[in-house]
Structure 1
Amino acid sequence: MKKIMSGLLVLLVMANCKTEPKNSNGKLNIVTTTTMITDLVENIGGDKVNIQGLMGSGVDPHLYKASAGDVTKLSNADLIFYGGLHLEGKLVEVFEKMESQNLKTVAVSDALDKSTLIGSEYFASNYDPHIWFDVNNWENITKFVVEKLSMADPENKEFYMENGEQYLKKLENLNTDIKSIIEGLPKEKRVLVTAHDAFSYFGKAYDFEVVGLQGLSTATEAGVQDVQKISAFIIERKIKAIFVESSVPKRTIEALQASVNSKGHHVEIGGTLYSDALGNAGTFEGTYIGMFKYNVKTIVGALQ
């Protein structure tokens, strides 16, 4: 595996040593990693940029490995946007090498003050990378992306700024809608149990107690003791529903449900939440705003 990774790094560095512009139609060639970032850059960049997203719906960024095709996309990019904070765990070495070569990589997490990040002693970066689950974070990241696009393509700065302002208004409306929906759920019922610990920013921003069966990264498997511990928690708190995630195998949540039910407390699987990836392209859930509304309605509806 190390030899393969070294080969990818060499290809990236060699390809990016070219001095000629990579864009063939006057537009920036942009590569993004997760679907959330792809959606954001599409909203701001519009028809002034060419965007290629590495990851699609249902793809787990924690476990994603670069393919030969990805190397080509990355090497031909004028600008690369990725999550950072070790979200794309198996691509970290690639991005760090590119950064050391002064290539144009942008970690959107750099938009945030580290004092606002949620730390974890169990995760390699010491910060929770699921920053998009607080709309306030996404607003700051929107401004950051506008700035980076404007610096890379100053001729279209006004276009990016205008699109950014329009999208910020949509995010403001989204935040208002989310809070309105959540207000209908009594505080004692705001306990969210999911497959892995992806919703801590959501919990902090919208007053939910959040429990993940797995850790911050899906590379960490849940054990029998984890299942038993959370099973006891669900029974004690009389929680009505738990949730699977679109990018995480549902077997661990099904095992948790079976454990709870075997002890005489019935718990439902309240639905599938989008955590590390958006829904299918072209659907309501395939956008950041649609995903967030869908998640909140699913959570509140199941816990009522």
Structure 2
Amino acid sequence: MVAALTRRALVALPVLAAAGCTGAGSGASGVVVTTNILGDLVRNVVGDQAEVQVLMAAGADPHSFGVSARQAASLERAALLVHNGLGLEEGVLAHVEAAAATGVPDLAVGELVDPIEYAADESAGLPDPHFWTDPVRVAEAVGIIAEQVVAHVPGVDADRVRANADAYRAEVEDLHDRTAALFGAIPDERRKLVTNHHVFGYLARRYDFEVIGAVIPSGTTLASPSGSDLKGLADAVAASGVAVVFADASQPERLIEAMAEETGLDIAIVPLFTESLTEPGQGAGTYLEMAAGNAEAIAGGLAPQ
């Protein structure tokens, strides 16, 4: 339903822009963004041209965070609502649908950056919402966001917004170049990823990694593994010869520890920031900091011993 509403909203964008108002009423203003990673992208594009409200707090899980009644009401007053669009924000989808139904223009970013599907386990065949692990797609998203801000947010200077987007996109492209260079030094036989849940499909495709599996065999942290899941993954890790698991820094390590206990494997745990930004100074205060830190951690974790 969200996808259908989003497509209708996008089709209506030129009409709404020409009318100088949104379906939510002429009093609508500012941008409301669901997740903090998207929020960082939007803030870099918008700059000082409009208010940007981000619903998801630092360190929260996008699959499970919820919103207050006041936040829910803000969605229907937005000039533009920016969300992932691929089922990521499971706790706020009903509010996104409600806002779109009232005519608020909504931008489902994930749907517009060539999304891929999960390839394995419980989520196989479903769209993968974690596009931000691929900086090339993020650079594309920046341009898309800029054009929809220009089309829908009253009072913004289009030239300023586009200049902001160009400058930020250059930083993201530089991130991609540095990431490619880091990963290029990893031997082919060690370019294998195991994570706490399926989150790096886009990164793996962009930089030529093989995803061995995930401790939680799903694209959402709301699922949980069985004993047979853990045993099967441990066997795959043992066969791969790369006993490193990359776990989200906000998630407990007990599942990975349980896998080690199940099989007796000596598994190294490398923490990453994968689905949420942190407060400033805590390792992932911005998208660029998060992505660069993750690339360095992955390259270090997979370096020959």
Distance 1:163 1:130 in 2: 24
Residue identity matched to 2:27: P
Tell me if structure 1 keeps the 8 A contact 2:65–2:89.
yes
The answer to whether residue 237 in structure 2 is matched with residue 234 in structure 1 is: yes
The whole-number CA distance in structure 1 between the counterparts of 2:60 and 2:88 is 12
Q: How far off is 1:284 after superposition?
A: 5.4
Q: Equivalent residue for 1:111?
A: 112
1:167 corresponds to:
168
Cα separation, partners in 2 of 1:223 and 1:235, compared to 1, 3 Å? same
- C-alpha deviation, 1:199, in angstroms: 0.6
Q: Deviations over 1:157-205 (max 9, x none)?
A: 1011101111111111111100111112111111111110011111111
In 2, Cα distance between equivalents of 1:62 and 1:244: 16
**Quick one: distance in 1 between partners of 2:124 and 2:209?**
25
Contact 2:245 2:267 in 1 (8 A): yes
Structure 2 residue 268 is the aligned partner of structure 1 residue 268: yes
SS of the equivalent of 1:248 reads coil
* In 2: Cα distance, 1:138 partner to 1:184 partner: 23
Return 34-43 or 232-241, whichever deviates more: 232-241
Alignment partner, residue 8 of structure 1? none
Over the aligned positions, Cα root-mean-square deviation in angstroms equals 2.2
Whole-Å separation in 2 of the counterparts to 1:106 and 1:278 = 21
Task: State how far apart, in whole Å, the 2-side matches of 1:169 and 1:213 are.
Answer: 35
SS in 2 for 1:69: helix
Distance change (3 Å), C-alpha of 1:184 and 1:63: same
* 294 and 87 in structure 1: CA distance in 2 versus 1, 3 angstrom threshold: same
Mapping of residues 31-180 of structure 1, within 5 Å = 31-113=32-114, 116-119=115-118, 122-123=122-123, 126-153=126-153, 155-180=156-181
Q: Deviations over 1:40-67 (max 9, x none)?
A: 0111101112112111222111112222
- Equivalent residue number for residue 6 of structure 2: none
Q: Deviations over 1:206-234 (max 9, x none)?
A: 11112222100112111111111111111
Instruction: Give the Cα separation in 1 of the matches to 2:166 and 2:47.
Output: 13
Counterpart-to-counterpart distance in 1, 2:92 and 2:240: 39
Could you say if the C-alpha distance between residues 227 and 125 of structure 1 is closer, same or farther in structure 2, counting changes exceeding 3 Å?
A: closer
Q: Cα–Cα, structure 1 residues 71 and 169, in superposed 2: closer, same or farther, change >3 Å?
A: same
Query: In the aligned structure 1, how far is the partner of 2:74 from the partner of 2:292?
Result: 32
TM-score by length of 1: 0.84
| Aligned twin of 1:6 | none
1:259 Cα offset (Å): 2.9
The whole-number CA distance in structure 2 between the counterparts of 1:36 and 1:21 is 27
* Worse overlay, 197-206 or 94-103: 94-103
Rounded to whole Å, the distance in 1 between the matches of 2:77 and 2:104 is 11
Contact 1:257/1:268 (<8 A) preserved: no
Once the 2 structures are TM-superposed, how far is the Cα of residue 101 of structure 1 from its aligned partner? 2.3
Structure 1 runs not aligned, ≥5 long = 1-15, 23-27
Are the equivalent residues in 2 in contact too, given 1:181–1:297 (CA < 8 A)? Answer: yes
Is 1:246–1:273's contact at 8 Å kept on the other side of the alignment? yes
What TM-score do the two structures reach when normalised by structure 2?
A: 0.84
**Aligned equivalents of 1:189, 1:72: Cα separation in 2:** 49
2:215 equivalent among 213, 216, 221: 213
Opposite residue 192 of structure 1, the aligned amino acid is L
Partner of 1:19: 25
Q: Is the 1:246–1:277 Cα contact (8 Å) retained in structure 2? A: no
Cα distance in 1 for residues equivalent to 2:24 and 2:95: 18
3-state SS of 2:100 partner:
helix
Aligned to 1:288: 287
**Identity rate, percent:** 27
In the other structure, the counterpart of 1:3 is none
**Which residue of the partner structure matches residue 301 of structure 2?**
302
Tell me which amino acid in the other structure corresponds to 1:104.
P
- The 10-residue stretch of structure 1 (117-126 or 51-60) with the greater mean CA deviation from structure 2: 117-126
Q: Aligned equivalents of 1:250 and 1:119: distance in 2?
A: 23
Q: Number of matched residues?
A: 278
AA of the residue aligned to 1:66: V
Structure 2 CA distance for aligned equivalents of residues 199 and 124 of structure 1: 14
